[in-house]
Amino acid sequence: MKATKKKTKKERLNMTKKKTEKLIDKKGLRLDGRKLDALRPVKMEVGILPNADGSAYLEQGKNKILAGVYGPKEAHPRHIAKQDRAVIQCRYHMAPFSVQERKSPAPSRRDVELSKVIRESLEPAVFLEYYPKTSIQVYIEVLQADGGTRCAGITTAALALADAGIPMRDLVVACAAGKADGKLIVDLDDTEDKVGDADVPVAFMPNLNAITLLQMDGSLSVEEFESAIGMALDGCKQLYALQKEALKSKYVVAEEAEEE
């Protein structure tokens, strides 16, 4: 039997590009039928993990993200403790079955990097000074991935923090904009992320009008970059409304149950 050589990531990406000739058709619609400025279908739910202090679940397109929060509690190991504030410990992890080709369960360099990115996106929203010498642990598990998991992870983690009753200046919500086939789009899926021209993830606190994360991968003109940020912020505001509805629905249902 003749052995077949395993294709490299670059070769697989080139094959994807050949198969996907156009990301946007003549009618201005994307591969999944969305308009350029349309988000994927979104579902949010909070309080689904009874063993966590706070939890949340998000579906955004084919993405399925679960987040759990523990704390504030005594910091371990003790050397990480801060005398004047709490520390956020964040772990972003993609399950082995979350992508088409089985992923190693061991943390990858990308997992470590995104854990840091998400932690730094959440820190400005939390009143860390209320809980000195403690840690707040945030666990994000990607059950199914289809592009934009860092943004979806931030949105889900912020919901879980709020569900845990941790005082926050505002919810953090995240959305990406980018460029494909020469046109600006919002909320990129996996194919658009890999084959498109640019990706601009943004995390935002709408009430404070403050950006907590801004990255860019690819190439955009100054005008395109500014427009992409505007599209991402519009997407954030739509997701922010859904975050608030998810929190309200949990506590309204609880109040109605108590009245009965």
pLDDT value at position 5? 43
Domains of the chain: 31-259 (3.30.230.70)
Q: Within 13 Å of residue 251, how many CA atoms lie on the same side as its CB?
A: 8
Instruction: Over range 78-89, report the average pLDDT.
Output: 94
Structure letter (DSSP) for residue 124: G
Instruction: Over range 88-94, report the average pLDDT.
Output: 97
pLDDT value at position 18? 44
CA distance 84 to 132: 5
SS3 content of the chain, % helix, strand, coil (to 5): 35, 30, 35
pLDDT value at position 21? 64
CA distance 240 to 96: 30
**Residue 9 pLDDT greater than 70, yes or no:** no
pLDDT value at position 204? 98
**Residue 216 pLDDT greater than 60, yes or no:** yes
Where residue 67 falls (left for φ over 0; alpha for ψ -120 to 50; beta otherwise) is beta
* Strand pairing report for 63-74 and 173-180: unpaired
CA distance 244 to 187: 20
**Residue 230 pLDDT greater than 60, yes or no:** yes
pLDDT value at position 251? 77
Q: What are phi and psi of 163, to 5 degrees?
A: -65, -30
Residue indicated by tokens 């009245």: 259
The predicted-structure confidence for 178-213, as pLDDT tens digits, reads as follows 999 999 999 999 999 999 999 999 999 999 999 999
Q: State the pLDDT confidence band at 76, using cuts at 50, 70 and 90.
A: confident
CA distance 211 to 225: 15
CA distance 67 to 153: 8
The predicted-structure confidence for 27-38, as pLDDT tens digits, reads as follows 889 999 999 999
**Residue 26 pLDDT greater than 90, yes or no:** no
The predicted model scores a pTM of 0.89
Residue indicated by tokens 């990480």: 80
Which residue type sits at 136? Answer: I
Which residue type sits at 21? Answer: E
Q: State the pLDDT confidence band at 252, using cuts at 50, 70 and 90.
A: confident
The residue that leads in pLDDT, 24 or 171, is 171
pLDDT value at position 255? 58
Q: State the pLDDT confidence band at 1, using cuts at 50, 70 and 90.
A: very low
Which residue type sits at 177? Answer: A
Which residue type sits at 186? Answer: V
Strand partners, 68: 55, 139
